[in-house]
Amino acid sequence: MTLDVTADQRLFQQTAREFLAETVPVATVRALGEAETGFDRDWWRSATELGWTAMLVAEEYGGGSISGRPLTELTSVASELGRACAPGPFVTTNAVLAGLASAGHGFGDTIAGVAAGDQVIAWAVYEPGRGMEVMYAAGADSGARVTATPEGDGYRVNGIKDRVESGDQADFFLVTAHGPDGPVQLLVPADAPGVTVTPTWTLDLVRRTARIDFDGVVVPDTAATHTGPAATAAIRAQLHTAAVLTAAETVGATEVALESTLGWLNDRFTFGRPLASYQALKHRMADNKTWLEACRATATAAAAACDDDSATADEAVSVAKSYVGAKAPVIGQDCVQLHGGIGVTWEHDLHLYLRRIGLGRALYGTPEEHRRRITDLLVAAA
């Protein structure tokens, strides 16, 4: 599959790379790993000024795509974020915006605030001990155990969400819950009475998550962004966005790990020869490069399918997330082995990329979950 890249798209990606190199070099990423929060809000506002949150937003709210292929454009930024092991709520913010895009004019100010970086809204979809079930809500079965019970002119929300990206720094949560007519999505303020936020550890140094407890949280009916079939469609769009961007970010991190390994093999000598001159190692690097390009191709194809609103978008997204999630850790681990002992030291940067790869494998559907999804889609189409 070949996609023409315009000069504007190249500039968009290059600008992201330069911004990240200047503002969050590896030393800064390491320092943020020791900080109380995983990213700086002022830094995030500066990032949004580059258009990182504008692609899925209508022009009337300050957004707009460069080429009319918003998700494809966002994957180029996601790849650069992976290459830099950068912080920030890029994935969860764009996933939320993908849902709010169909929520109507009542949420215009919210969309504009999120796109400008003035507010952070985290997608609260995962639940303890559960995987993608909530993300494929349909009909009366929302898949969610968090409940939104009608009360007066609003809802009472009860339950627990976990693995909420950037949940410790969120101003609002977009909560996927079970309502009276099936799935419902609600905007819940992080400081609402009954909301308890508990930061949780992740493998990545700067990509933080949180557990969110909702204990009788009351919100007005205007907090509902989607209900019923509209919620099902919004959740699907959000999952597509999050899964594709996570896959693209994982590709970027894997690419840097492989580049670092190639440099090491050329620089490290043994028996008077560079390691890169040994045929067995050449073959391993060739295999890794082939797998990396296949990962990139599946992520690119998934983004294109979503931009085209293709009938095969569900399948393309799951193919990308399952393939990248399976192959990227294999490539990353081989990079560690090819580095030798230095590859497992804290001082070497390789583990930073391996951490990003590992988290990318787990979030928004593991390879196993997406393979099951592909099977379900194929059976349904038979």
Which CATH number is 7-115 given? 1.10.540.10
**How far is residue 282's CA from residue 241's CA, in Å, rounded to a whole number?**
36
Q: Where are the domains of the chain?
A: 7-115, 121-229, 231-381
pLDDT in tens, 33-72: 999 999 999 999 999 999 999 999 988 888 888 889 999 9
The pLDDT tens digits for 114-167 are 999 999 999 999 999 988 877 775 555 656 799 999 999 999 999 999 999 999
pLDDT in tens, 314-364: 999 999 999 999 999 999 999 999 999 999 999 999 999 999 999 999 999
Instruction: Output the CA–CA distances (angstroms, integers) from residue 159 to 109, 125, 150, 201, in the order listed.
Output: 28, 11, 15, 21
This prediction has a pTM of 0.95
For the domain covering 231-381, report its CATH number.
1.20.140.10
Domain 121-229 annotated CATH 3.30.160.60: no
Mean pLDDT rounded to a whole number for the chain: 94
> What are the angstrom distances between the C-alpha of 20 and each of 15, 16, 302, 348?
9, 6, 25, 20
3-state helix/strand/coil string of 50-119: CCCCCCCCCHHHCCCCCCCCHHHHHHHHHHHHHHHCCCCCHHHHHHHHHHHCCCCHHHHHHHHHHHCCCC
Tell me the C-alpha distance between 224 and 99, whole Å.
Answer: 12
